[in-house]
Structure 1
């Protein structure tokens, strides 16, 4: 709020009748600044791109890529291998670039779409007095000291003090939630309970009725609007649930890969020294090194970690040489060092293989896919992580107006004499005329089915009511002459208009609080019961509806109905009442029920009175007969509590009524301290701090620019049902990520175990570098695309929200991953064992082996192993697709993209094997080989189908 000293200071600039001079405008602008809200500082594009590398799995990939480059350089220059050794590191860095690049591009595109949606109207025209003359200037040019002229329907350009006002009411909902705040330059009419002084008007609020002049006391960032906007710029450092879970997954993957790599080093060297007892001492430096890598190096400074790693590596090499010296081995030292280095390279390569290169790609593709599809369901996603985070939401803090309600006052019920079919009365034209002329509102025809209301929304509702019954308010008003008016005031609580029609007949029309009108009326219209009037008023008011009464009198030619701004006429007839409400959106109760069934708590934070808020909550199914005063609190009561006191009651609160700008933010922070994942909706400047602080901020499509800037998602159609769809998309997206992890970890278990087992028994790796490139990069990428494209499922709304810190791999996933991975390993190890001990020329020879001869794997045998491994993955991808669906993997409705990508994978494998040649170290397979391998690996899917069928049977109601 502007201080008294500042108000006193700026008054030196101007006289109300003259306004500022040009020189004073320059001085004021220099001293108090311009009337522009300072936009948040945009990050440089390069910085936005760099931030994409903060993902833990991307960091692992970078480390693996650097190690892979080192190994490839040694193999190329030291071992004179072909340039194909560089395909592995190249593939890793391609995966990194694709994953980070896609996230960067999609978020950049969303920001551009958002900028178009959220243009700040700094060039809107404002009427001011300068140099003694009225003129129009852009809003951004208003300065402290300006005299502004404000009229009905206009937005206040800056904070100001009223000098003059006539029947003025302002919509302050963007700051306080109050849709109609009475304003007056007369301090005798001050509302002591108002959030802002009655003679103050604030930037960003809108004049709903009346007009006036005001003295500007603050512009731009110094306005109340600007203060809230700056509060919304506080950086939100809350980690998203997905980030937390990926951190855990990244640690699991890296720790497991380091452990297996250490075991491989020890096993291969023990095998080299024929498992002599002395050789077991080599395990000590290896175990210590990998222990430090896993548990200590992340906490150490880089210099300390590097120093220790070098020391332990020297100790390790020294111990290898000592063991060699005393082992009596017949080899030479150069062969030993070459073997040791090759062993280290195999281990490091395994670390590279163990990291799921496709996971960042799967996450990015899933998020990007959902981001684009959610726009079609009226959710404009600005931050990609918000897609998934909505799926983890446990609490939604929502405002009322425009989100739960239609933000459009309408006549809900009425009581007029002999009222058939909701029409006014037999004297409908007279009553319609009374509504049309005794008003300050107007209907603006915008060409749509929902015309705009200029002025008081309550009066606008009455105009729309008679318009829906076939009356033209403008035409009715043009056919009469208005010869007297009494504007509405909070003291009188009524307004009156005297008109004369073309026939010279004069009428007095009065509209206002029913109890006031009943007190000034002599009688009621025929067929109107006073008892019924009171009963209906009591019922409507208990439902927090606004009630209005109507009265009239046909005047004689010489009769004066108004005297001294008061009604002087007598013998007035009370003719009817109406109830006006901002109706809830038709789809909201079902959407609220869906969210609550899904375990998502909903809380209303509104500037309305407790009675109105409770009634709205009751209508949408949020407030039940079991709720009481412990479930509702007012803004002043909430503000008086300490943080710890709020934490004690936050989960019980269903409604905060009479909420102030920062109450919602404090509620959000309290819920976050309690471990909740919080989404917040808002459309006003007052909502911006809470939108920024929440895990997901949801602004409304017709909300303020400040609210949209602070949000992660913009609900284009303002509807709560769109929020429910966002939750469904987020949960489905998370399941798609889980499906890819299930698929990928299963593959990696099989790959790691086959290499580890081969190290212990001295077998060569059955997969070459280029084959692993296809398996771990191309397959991963295609699988990521396939699983990311799966459509959302409403079934996910039957589940409760996951805990934000729960591990991303669940028990049901492990129950699939471990058995399937072991089966794949068993099949591959059996093939390696057979092919190492005999040679075959056709896959059918496996069933007719006559002699065992130790040897090496031929290109044909490597092709069989490679193709078997890939096709096992192919079938397992269908298992992953069916995970958590409760359906067969063959239920492929709306999965056209998945089928297309699966087909491409199969065709790609045939293409590589048949023409890959030396590049992939393969030879073409016959048609019979392909048929046998394809059908021979299909039990991977068929076993999964049997398990899913058994699960459906045991979980069916009949089984229970």
Structure 2
């Protein structure tokens, strides 16, 4: 076997090698397989800089026949399936382990062990049930989250068209799964296909190939490909024009490519591998040991909420131990009875919010489900936590703030100087602009086209001419009717008709009728050409109508002004293509020629040529305009109009045409491109843009109102970015110079200079992926949290660096894997909905934590202070039995807490300031906790005292903690009163916790029926507990009560009065606090129509 080269590829074995077989062999050294995924693939040279014949030879492949079936099978076995290495998924056992490894579970396990150790099987069993409940709920939640993530990674089964053969047979075209593509495969790619793996374009097998590589390179426009090798071996991916890359989409043309890298060996795979690796920590010695210890305790490498809850668990564990010691100390630490030991355990457990883990898991799971219904798929639960704290949203423009589809917004046709006296709308001072109506479906081929009443702003030095007023002066009898400004394609002015024909015929995009499922029109082709084709349809000049001589299958498209009339009036013939010179990135233009074929003797055949492209490149080929010389003065007029359109955020193209005699047909078809693209007549300008989503402006306004700064980071031109930002309110008309920057300008600033800026830029145009990373770092240096959106592989570092990385549903798999939230609809407004939900979750967590912990505080007040009540044997008489204490801590506390976690999204969520989950225990929260906990505990204890000393003469009986006896009836009745008071007030307290300041009587209690039913049902459970024989006396150590209900309801009314008074004081204090000023622009009502559409 030949020796492998330095880069790891063995030299190819010639056909008919050692065994005389004709089977071609292919060997790579240093190639390892992980599962079904090839991890390392290398050629001894860079394929983009080598001739395609050399690449074929190295891969032992044939451009005409491809691989043999046997060879392909061997390579598939050797190098594995062509798919990215999936992220490791936790096993069910590991998920269960995670639920048991958190601090609260460990504390409950310790309490369970103590309970069984003291022979308190009831308490131990209850705690064991709670642990199982927490594990089941938490484990199910995490399992569902993992299933959601897995569903995002592969949707559908993509296929590839390859050339294969069997032995010496002829080549066959086969359609196989992308997973089965191997190095050396000859793949046929064409318009609309997704490239299955990295491949080298083959000489002699390429036709006008362009691919969209925005996800990989950030380049917004499709890249024209070539088969010739690139001179530079070391050049950026975007400059390797002889290569196509896995995941890119072919937008034009077709080609054969030989696959050189698959799976993790592709460019997208390399980036995925780099993102998978974790940076090593720098700590050593004692610091490293301390860090690992904190990780074990759950105080590092987990979410802020989990860290805070773990800290709470350890704090409560310490408090529980102290409570247990206090209970045991009441006996003097001598001859501790079993009942006291049991009571000590019950007191310790009472301070622990046993259902906390389950409630948190359910709350986050419910939030995740709600977000999924609103097109936001949560990959990691910590995303919900982070959303509540974000103060910045860094968003892409295309497809997120905008619809992601180009549409024609304006046509502008220069004025014919020789017709200046006419007042028709197509002849203003320097030309006429037309506006195209655009609906919710950018590909919908109908819509009004209107001649603008006001000329573009640069006419007459900025003065606006009202054409309608001029026309009224010419004819007093004309009616003021908008319909006269709608273009009727039957009576189109000659210049507009030529312009529309150019847009339609100099175009390879194809529109398709809507399918029954989607209801939206579809398009296949370059986005710019698609926009021009839709514009042509709206004026009744769709390409099928111009090129088909007979009736075609497509429905006839008419403009609104001419329903029920033939699509192309006055055209007695059709066009047949003669020659095409495709768009070339070096010349930035496309040209085409058609022969007009008449259908009757009245029409004459002729040849018509069209040219479109970048304005400056088209000007080079124009010599006339409206039959007059295209002078420098006329060029300057056109340039001025182009600047006006560009300032409105439009991408401007120039359209040209010329007509020649039919006798020139053969010469036109055979002449070179330079000769063909000469002596054209300038027809006009087309302004194209990606319109903003209708909900973007409102979402941006919501962000500012919520104290969140939206920022646009886009690869588009600064003028386009500025216009869109103005239209949706990210910036206002008085924006500062630093509010809008290019990526180059921002990257040129040092970190110190960036930090010195009063405010980071709101718009960054021509933004590179590295610029996004710098923006995230700059925001973090200011102590703020941020959302970052991205859809390309190159966005992955910024997505991982951001607090909330948001991938797009239509984006790359690597970007999705790097994010913790995925937008199924790629919509900026969905991010705002997710933030609203995150803030609501934060408030809901505070609500149920306040309820749970205030209940724990109330129990501890009752249990510990109750130790002061001593019987004749100097033994403490417990106000609550251990079983009653556990009942309150589990069944009475858990369900209402879970229901509070399911509170509907707060309407005022976006009016609240950003809140970090690590700051969930605010000063206000702690004051509320102390107030409600002490109040409820005191009220319950007071009722215990009232019954014993107010009605009975303070008779505490003997051994009333052991079981029922006649002498203990007063104590049992007092316990029943204390128990009922505590449970019922806690149920009312759960309703009060729905809002921290709003009165109970002004709340909508029916918006959370689960909570209302929990409160009612659990309050009613006190009756069977108190009145069912044996259960009351033997289990709960209670006795039936009668007149005691009077003081119970008295305490309920007192609680409501105190709670309402407390909230009233809080509302007064809040009114005196100045609300932080929003950062919204002065004019948030600015819309696209004010910037682009005519007044």
Question: TM-score scaled to structure 2, two decimals?
Answer: 0.73
Residue 112 of structure 2 aligns to a residue in which SS? helix
2:185 aligned with 1:146: yes
Choose which of 192, 195, 211 in structure 2 pairs with 1:170: 211
Q: Is the 8 A contact 2:162 2:185 kept in 1?
A: no
> How far has the Cα of 1:117 moved from its partner?
4.9
In the other structure, the counterpart of 1:550 is 655
In the other structure, the counterpart of 1:482 is 577
> How far has the Cα of 1:356 moved from its partner?
0.8
Q: Distance in 2 between matches of 1:238 and 1:121?
A: 35
Q: Is the 8 A contact 1:838 1:855 kept in 2?
A: no
Q: CA, structure 1 residues 474+348, in 2 after alignment: closer, same or farther (shift >3 Å)? A: same
Choose which of 345, 364, 375 in structure 2 pairs with 1:367: 364
Q: Distance in 2 between matches of 1:959 and 1:162?
A: 65
In the other structure, the counterpart of 2:112 is 65
Q: Is the 8 A contact 1:231 1:689 kept in 2?
A: no
In the other structure, the counterpart of 1:790 is 903
Choose which of 499, 504, 515 in structure 2 pairs with 1:436: 504
Q: Distance in 2 between matches of 1:378 and 1:858?
A: 58
Q: Distance in 1 between matches of 2:535 and 2:777?
A: 43
Could you list the per-position Cα deviations for residues 462-518 of structure 1 after superposition, in whole angstroms to 9, with x for gaps in the alignment?
Answer: 112233445443333324211122212123322222212331343222212233333
Choose which of 385, 393, 400 in structure 2 pairs with 1:388: 385
Between stretches 460-469 and 147-156, larger displacement belongs to 460-469
Residue 558 of structure 1 aligns to a residue in which SS? helix
Q: Is the 8 A contact 2:138 2:357 kept in 1?
A: no
Q: Distance in 2 between matches of 1:775 and 1:924?
A: 19
> How far has the Cα of 1:67 moved from its partner?
2.0
> How far has the Cα of 1:453 moved from its partner?
2.4
Q: CA, structure 1 residues 957+261, in 2 after alignment: closer, same or farther (shift >3 Å)? A: closer
Choose which of 597, 610, 613 in structure 2 pairs with 1:512: 613
Residue 591 of structure 2 aligns to a residue in which SS? strand
In the other structure, the counterpart of 1:308 is none
Q: CA, structure 1 residues 725+39, in 2 after alignment: closer, same or farther (shift >3 Å)? A: same
2:872 aligned with 1:872: no
Q: Is the 8 A contact 1:391 1:726 kept in 2?
A: no
Q: Distance in 1 between matches of 2:64 and 2:372?
A: 52
Q: Is the 8 A contact 2:947 2:1044 kept in 1?
A: no
> How far has the Cα of 1:538 moved from its partner?
0.6
Q: CA, structure 1 residues 609+64, in 2 after alignment: closer, same or farther (shift >3 Å)? A: farther
Residue 692 of structure 2 aligns to a residue in which SS? coil
> How far has the Cα of 1:888 moved from its partner?
5.1
In the other structure, the counterpart of 2:873 is none
Q: Distance in 2 between matches of 1:613 and 1:379?
A: 25
Choose which of 226, 247, 256 in structure 2 pairs with 1:204: 247
Q: Distance in 2 between matches of 1:854 and 1:679?
A: 67
Q: Is the 8 A contact 1:633 1:653 kept in 2?
A: no
Q: Is the 8 A contact 2:84 2:263 kept in 1?
A: yes
2:986 aligned with 1:948: no
Q: Is the 8 A contact 2:82 2:180 kept in 1?
A: yes
Which runs of structure 2 are paired with 1:444-523 in the superposition (5 Å)? 444-447=512-515, 448-479=518-549, 480-503=575-598, 504-523=605-624
Q: Is the 8 A contact 1:367 1:385 kept in 2?
A: no
Q: Distance in 2 between matches of 1:203 and 1:566?
A: 35
Which runs of structure 2 are paired with 1:297-376 in the superposition (5 Å)? 336-339=334-337, 343-376=340-373
Between stretches 564-573 and 492-501, larger displacement belongs to 564-573
In the other structure, the counterpart of 1:698 is 806
Between stretches 23-32 and 412-421, larger displacement belongs to 23-32
> How far has the Cα of 1:715 moved from its partner?
1.7
Could you list the per-position Cα deviations for residues 779-809 of structure 1 after superposition, in whole angstroms to 9, with x for gaps in the alignment?
Answer: 1122113212211113121222124542x22
Residue 168 of structure 1 aligns to a residue in which SS? strand
Structure 1 regions of 5+ residues with no counterpart? 74-84, 273-319, 321-335, 843-852
In the other structure, the counterpart of 2:460 is none
Q: Is the 8 A contact 2:627 2:681 kept in 1?
A: no
> How far has the Cα of 1:580 moved from its partner?
1.0
Between stretches 621-630 and 189-198, larger displacement belongs to 189-198
The number of residue pairs the alignment matches comes to: 869
Q: Distance in 2 between matches of 1:835 and 1:794?
A: 45
Q: Is the 8 A contact 2:646 2:719 kept in 1?
A: no
Could you list the per-position Cα deviations for residues 408-434 of structure 1 after superposition, in whole angstroms to 9, with x for gaps in the alignment?
Answer: 111122213615715585245554333
Q: CA, structure 1 residues 510+654, in 2 after alignment: closer, same or farther (shift >3 Å)? A: same
Relative CO higher for 1 or 2, CA cutoff 8 Å, sep ≥ 6? 1
Q: CA, structure 1 residues 908+679, in 2 after alignment: closer, same or farther (shift >3 Å)? A: farther
In the other structure, the counterpart of 1:833 is 945
Structure 2 regions of 5+ residues with no counterpart? 1-40, 48-53, 280-299, 415-425, 427-433, 435-448, 452-486, 550-574, 599-604, 871-875, 955-965, 1076-1095
Q: Distance in 2 between matches of 1:259 and 1:635?
A: 61
Q: Is the 8 A contact 1:679 1:695 kept in 2?
A: yes
Residue 415 of structure 1 aligns to a residue in which SS? strand
Residue 114 of structure 2 aligns to a residue in which SS? helix
Between stretches 412-421 and 209-218, larger displacement belongs to 412-421
2:870 aligned with 1:758: no
In the other structure, the counterpart of 2:645 is 540
Q: Is the 8 A contact 1:512 1:550 kept in 2?
A: yes
> How far has the Cα of 1:729 moved from its partner?
0.8
> Structure 1 or 2: larger helix share?
1
Q: Is the 8 A contact 1:879 1:889 kept in 2?
A: no
Which runs of structure 2 are paired with 1:720-759 in the superposition (5 Å)? 720-759=828-867
Q: Distance in 2 between matches of 1:908 and 1:39?
A: 51
Could you list the per-position Cα deviations for residues 89-134 of structure 1 after superposition, in whole angstroms to 9, with x for gaps in the alignment?
Answer: 2222222222332232234334435544542555513233657625
Choose which of 223, 228, 234 in structure 1 pairs with 2:266: 223
Q: CA, structure 1 residues 717+934, in 2 after alignment: closer, same or farther (shift >3 Å)? A: farther
Question: TM-score scaled to structure 1, two decimals?
Answer: 0.82
In the other structure, the counterpart of 1:239 is 302
> How far has the Cα of 1:172 moved from its partner?
0.7
Q: Distance in 2 between matches of 1:947 and 1:914?
A: 35
Which runs of structure 2 are paired with 1:570-649 in the superposition (5 Å)? 572-609=680-717, 612-623=720-731, 625-628=734-737, 632=741, 634=743, 638=747
Q: Is the 8 A contact 2:317 2:352 kept in 1?
A: yes
2:129 aligned with 1:105: no
In the other structure, the counterpart of 1:49 is 96
> How far has the Cα of 1:828 moved from its partner?
2.8
Could you list the per-position Cα deviations for residues 307-352 of structure 1 after superposition, in whole angstroms to 9, with x for gaps in the alignment?
Answer: xxxxxxxxxxxxx6xxxxxxxxxxxxxxx3234x655543333221
Between stretches 378-387 and 781-790, larger displacement belongs to 378-387
Q: Distance in 1 between matches of 2:968 and 2:1000?
A: 46
Could you list the per-position Cα deviations for residues 44-83 of structure 1 after superposition, in whole angstroms to 9, with x for gaps in the alignment?
Answer: 1111222123333233222222222222x2xxxxxxxxxx
Residue 388 of structure 2 aligns to a residue in which SS? helix
